[in-house]
Structure 1
């Protein structure tokens, strides 16, 4: 964990910041480029077109060439495209670079999740995945004031449009980190010198025992992943989490800025950034403790249904509350509910998929889940233009999350989704 988790966490912080820093830029960029809320929402969501289409192929390539080489390639290319966002000059160049950024980053998250199945047994994988995915809230907690500071520095000191300088400055670290990954990220236990032969053999034996069930029933092929209905159930959980998460990521700075009209409180760009960090701090805490408790109990579905239901209620009522503080508290609950389930649902596919099917299934799940990354900002932006505020868009987000919570509750007693105590094996084929 010490040798692997901090590195992949830093990788995801850089990745996610380059994906969502357009939300910080939008406060001034939209006016500079003449973008409506709908046009901005389309551009923010177009990231996911190439991302969705290439998730499965990317994960299959990663399985063939190794995580170290492929993740390094992903990081270098997305860093170059992220930096190129500084050259956006109109609506169509904005759209084009967002599509290219999605193509460059495709396969990163499911690739890392698949990589973790090669290193960590099931009993600890939830908290390890949670530690990796804490890069999401940390990217905002750290990135919000960083992005605001870079925008201000570019505007006030360099005399340029600050959001352009921000894109350039935040894209370069991904390229450098991608080069470092080639030297720092290990592919498999047997390829490192800091494990003895006995240690790597014991670890691989443990992982092989966990995979034995799926392998013995032919659940290791690419075709098996596409045919398995459980893949699509897990994807639905990811879709709901992303509907909530991306609505907040892309529009929260604008929502906070809009509170000034409601409550007469005006925020500077830096104050907006710092307030934006509050819900993501709550999300970071929720990711860690929900993932840890889920590992401890071996229970997954309650740990999906309850956070989604709480988040759905919170996001639905947030903009009707009577004060800025109350709104931020509700949005914090919504963020915690959306993000807390992400490391949990990623633990489900290895129960019934292995080998090529695991790589494929995780790619399918990531692809379908990330369709929400287009739908969420587009619908939220379009409803904002149509109604004049974000309330209707938040009710849409709430509805999707509550439906997914109901789905989790409905399948909770099926053997493949039921509580699995640490140290026990998945159910037999007959039970499934």
Structure 2
């Protein structure tokens, strides 16, 4: 999609539409479908955490092998994410999202037939290649529709899909593992991949009927509404150029130190969110809960709390036009909850409450961190930067599960891994504090 699509002239009109009204209309039109898509995408990404409860024993995989495979997803992600975002600027969001969803749904279903660690590693890498560009692509896509003053709320609504995947996926995954084990000769974990991968394929095929590439192409907006939205977006772009320089080129983006600070922050939030996402079922199991359906139901509570918390934090940040302390607070709450979950390990209910607080913190940190890049980046440079930030920063998603797996294999406990995630969250809070005030208060 070119910048010309976003700035094409529209007929003049005498009146002006209400900002909140038109952006509410846009949100109701595009966000529900995006949320459902990402819910299924994220479910396909992290259902390996539930499959692990039975898969490792059936296939004789070690904890380290699982952690390595879980993390290899992010290597494929790293290599193909920025190119995917740049391609989306050229061919549009519809074609990009459709391609991504169909491919990753099919690959996710392929995990049902894994027999060796090598096969597991290969498919996890391919899943990362297939999904590369989806999350940063949507971050970019939202900048085509919403100016910065609405973006915190809208991003929070979209990111709600991540914890919702846990709320829905936990009980669903537990039920599949328990009730469908050995049905038609397939293990429960095999049915898990088959059943949860198919909706992504179907949703991908439905993309052309639900999404529009840009406001200028939206037949469901009036000419006046298009004019006002594009004027708001142009005003945002001009302000960013005046305050932070020209980021319309990739080289200008790479020369900006703030981009690399965003990469570091992305590493911190990725280590937190994927450490919790991949290991929460195992952590719940470690508290003494063994029935897989029970584990799934209990795991839904932390994700439900995260869905509420990240929206409250996003709305609060937009109302106050303040980003720094919202992000610092989220990082520190996540760290405190993780440490408390280890200290309270012998009291399962209290430990579960601590894990719930930790999950709410790390997911809120993800929402707030992704508010920042679009506040100072423009054009193709922004597309490339979001891809670079998420791909390199996403290596935290490789480090986190692998390190926890190694620690658990060597110590027979996840406590050291949890402390590692907590320390990284504190580092994220310190990096956030050092951000320029002009960047984080708008």
TM range, smaller chain: over 0.9
Select 1:248's aligned residue among 259, 276, 296: 276
Select 1:257's aligned residue among 285, 293, 299: 285
Aligned 8 A contact 2:74 2:395 in 1: yes
Select 2:413's aligned residue among 372, 380, 389: 389
CA deviation after TM superposition for structure 1 residue 159, in Å: 4.1
Alignment of 1:20-169 (within 5 A): 20-155=46-181, 157-169=183-195
Select 1:233's aligned residue among 238, 261, 268: 261
The equivalent of 1:308 in structure 2 is 331
The equivalent of 1:277 in structure 2 is 300
TM-score normalised over the length of structure 2: 0.91
CA offset digits 1:35-64 (Å, max 9, x no partner): 111110001111111111111000000111
CA deviation after TM superposition for structure 1 residue 242, in Å: 1.5
Q: State the Cα RMSD in Å.
A: 1.2
The equivalent of 1:415 in structure 2 is 438
5+ residue gaps, structure 2: 1-26
CA deviation after TM superposition for structure 1 residue 238, in Å: 2.1
Confirm or deny that 1:365 pairs with 2:389. yes
The equivalent of 1:341 in structure 2 is 365
Aligned 8 A contact 1:126 1:291 in 2: yes
Q: Distance in 1 between matches of 2:266 and 2:300?
A: 22
The equivalent of 2:24 in structure 1 is none
Q: After the TM superposition, which parts of structure 1 deviate over 4 Å for at least 4 consecutive aligned residues?
A: none
The equivalent of 1:429 in structure 2 is none
Q: Distance in 2 between matches of 1:289 and 1:351?
A: 20
The equivalent of 1:423 in structure 2 is none
CA offset digits 1:168-222 (Å, max 9, x no partner): 1111111110010122111011112111112101110110010013346322111
- Residue aligned with 1:347, SS: coil
The equivalent of 2:317 in structure 1 is 294
TM-score normalised over the length of structure 1: 0.93
The equivalent of 1:425 in structure 2 is none
Aligned 8 A contact 2:74 2:125 in 1: yes
Q: Distance in 1 between matches of 2:365 and 2:218?
A: 32
The equivalent of 1:2 in structure 2 is 28
Q: Distance in 2 between matches of 1:349 and 1:228?
A: 11
Select 2:430's aligned residue among 399, 406, 411: 406
The equivalent of 1:428 in structure 2 is none
Aligned 8 A contact 2:174 2:297 in 1: no
CA deviation after TM superposition for structure 1 residue 157, in Å: 4.0
CA deviation after TM superposition for structure 1 residue 267, in Å: 3.1
The equivalent of 1:318 in structure 2 is 341
Q: How many residues align?
A: 413
Select 2:403's aligned residue among 366, 374, 379: 379
5+ residue gaps, structure 1: 261-265, 421-432
Confirm or deny that 1:180 pairs with 2:214. no
Q: Distance in 2 between matches of 1:63 and 1:343?
A: 23
